[in-house]
Structure 1
Amino acid sequence: MFKKMMWVTGILSAAAVVGKIYYDTNVVKINPVTLMTNKLRKGSQLSILQISDLHNRTFGKDHKGLLKQIKKVKADVIVLTGDLIDRKTTDFHSIFCLVKELKNINNQVFFITGNHEWDNPYLSELINLLEKHHVKILDNSHITIPFNGDEVQIIGLGKNYGNNTHVKQMIKKDNCTFTILLSHIPNAVRELSGTNIDLVLSGHTHGGQIRFPFIGSVIVPDQGVFPKFDKGLFEWDKGKLLYIDSGAGTTRLPVRFLNQAQISLIQINGE
């Protein structure tokens, strides 16, 4: 009897784990993040939808399931923080469908490349596709957008993320403009201490992709074992925040566990 119960328990536990893996890998959620700043007038609410590390995954036919959620949130800005594709991607139909609809939903869509774009030999085709649909490429460039009487500066890092001299030159010196840095790889913040960057939006880590109870992520790219910056919100410099989205897609192992596929809705409230 005891052995039978053990077998049943084992089978049910295995089924629960498999079910959780399937759900976390294939059902995308919107992760809400709320921040405060005195650089936007009191009562202002700037919402930014961040999509990262899709790795050419499709959620629903032509992303219909994902796009349905995106339409509901009505974000002011959409940012794509790298690895839309995988380094081996050759067919961009999925991304074509996504980008086309994103631009129909929101006119302000910004993109930076990630390491998988850098390694993909067809990167120029992807860039051409994005530009054709009027997505603003922010690799090593910046843009200032008006918002409710204030200005918001968005700066993007590209492949040479280790050289931040040009980034420092782009940052406004007045310290009154809310400044966002898009950097696929979060380690870039190490060289930006003391600058007027208020918020860094990153991806790359996948949050470890597979996480364990009570431990969390064991290893992420570029940080080794038991990383400090794996997913979520961190203070990387005094009063400066880094948000790492754990992403929607997968790489290497095509599974997620205790780390559901996600995109993020970041609401920045003026105070």
Structure 2
Amino acid sequence: MKKLLGFVAIVVAFVIITYIGNTTIAVTQQEIRLPGLPEELEGLRVVQISDLHDATFGEAQQELIAKVAKQEPDLIFITGDIVDSNRYNLKQSLEVVEGFVELAPVYYVTGNHEIATGKVDQIKSSLSQLGVTVLSNEVEAVTLEGQTIEIFGIDDPLNGISVTDALAKHPRTEFPRLTLSHRPEVFEEYVMNGESLVFTGHAHGGQIRIPGLGGLIAPGQGFFPQYTAGVYEEGETQMIVSRGLGNSLFPVRIFNRPEIVTVTLTP
């Protein structure tokens, strides 16, 4: 009986921990030194949202919106998979965007799930109508505090244009650049193109995070993936990988809380 009670207690504890670990949002703070950033933009704050996959956090997404608002963002980046192709509910996903556009300018790039729905044009149009800047292999020059930076958005390659080709069409200029792209597994492509700071998602933190080892599996990378969470550096390139917020085919995260990333930039 003692062994049975002990086993039940372990199972109950695991269920509680897993539930909390899938429904409470972690905020990860990153301070990034960006070469060429004007001194006037020191402290520029970017909040990254990735891989919502139609997940909900509070009624009308108020918990998630409040978390982002508390970060006092200057810019909000959405790096794909705001919807899930397996349970498509655009209206539900747009609720959170409606809250975001009241906080700061919002920039968005597609993930593979938007394209897999076959309704990517509808999704982009709906976001644009809310005031979101949708970037499809485009660079936008943005003036902040009288200074110019570039925001480069790369469409998910499932849409027909590879990340390599998208990068080749938009070589670096003299302005500091922030790059949005769903895919972290092509890190070397960002490095070869000399991208300064790339915001990515897609890996879901490796879904199951093993203490001391990292993520277990990620789309596009397979088992024991290299790029799952945090900041990766090579040469002049830094890449941020968000663990994201939702789940897709595998419905549970383990030791891998949903995450928003707050990046504070310094020269």
Aligned residue in 2 for 1:78: 76
Cα distance in 1 between the residues matched to 2:215 and 2:194:
30
Aligned residue in 1 for 2:153: 156
**By how many angstroms is 1:248 displaced?**
0.3
**Structure 2: segments with no counterpart, 5+ residues:** none
Cα distance in 2 between the residues matched to 1:22 and 1:163:
36
Larger radius of gyration: 1
Per the normalisation by structure 1, the TM-score is: 0.90
Q: How does 1:100-249 map to 2 (within 5 A)?
A: 100-106=98-104, 108-160=105-157, 162-174=162-174, 177-235=175-233, 237-249=234-246
Deviating more after overlay: 184-193 vs 127-136: 184-193
**By how many angstroms is 1:93 displaced?**
1.8
Cα distance in 2 between the residues matched to 1:249 and 1:194:
31
> Identity over the aligned pairs, expressed in percent?
26
Cα distance in 2 between the residues matched to 1:104 and 1:218:
37
Amino acid at match of 1:37: L
**Structure 1: segments with no counterpart, 5+ residues:** none
Deviating more after overlay: 47-56 vs 180-189: 180-189
What does the per-residue CA deviation read over 1:174-198, in whole Å, with 9 as the maximum and x for residues that have no partner?
A: 3xx2212111011233223343311
Per the normalisation by structure 2, the TM-score is: 0.91
Q: How does 1:87-102 map to 2 (within 5 A)?
A: 87-102=85-100
Deviating more after overlay: 114-123 vs 241-250: 114-123
**By how many angstroms is 1:224 displaced?**
1.8
> Could you say what secondary structure the match of 1:118 adopts?
helix
Q: Does the 8 Å CA contact 1:155/1:167 hold for their aligned counterparts?
A: no
Deviating more after overlay: 255-264 vs 42-51: 42-51
Cα distance in 2 between the residues matched to 1:99 and 1:37:
27
Cα distance in 2 between the residues matched to 1:168 and 1:229:
23
Going from structure 1 to structure 2, the CA distance change for 1:14 and 1:85 (only over 3 Å counts) comes to same
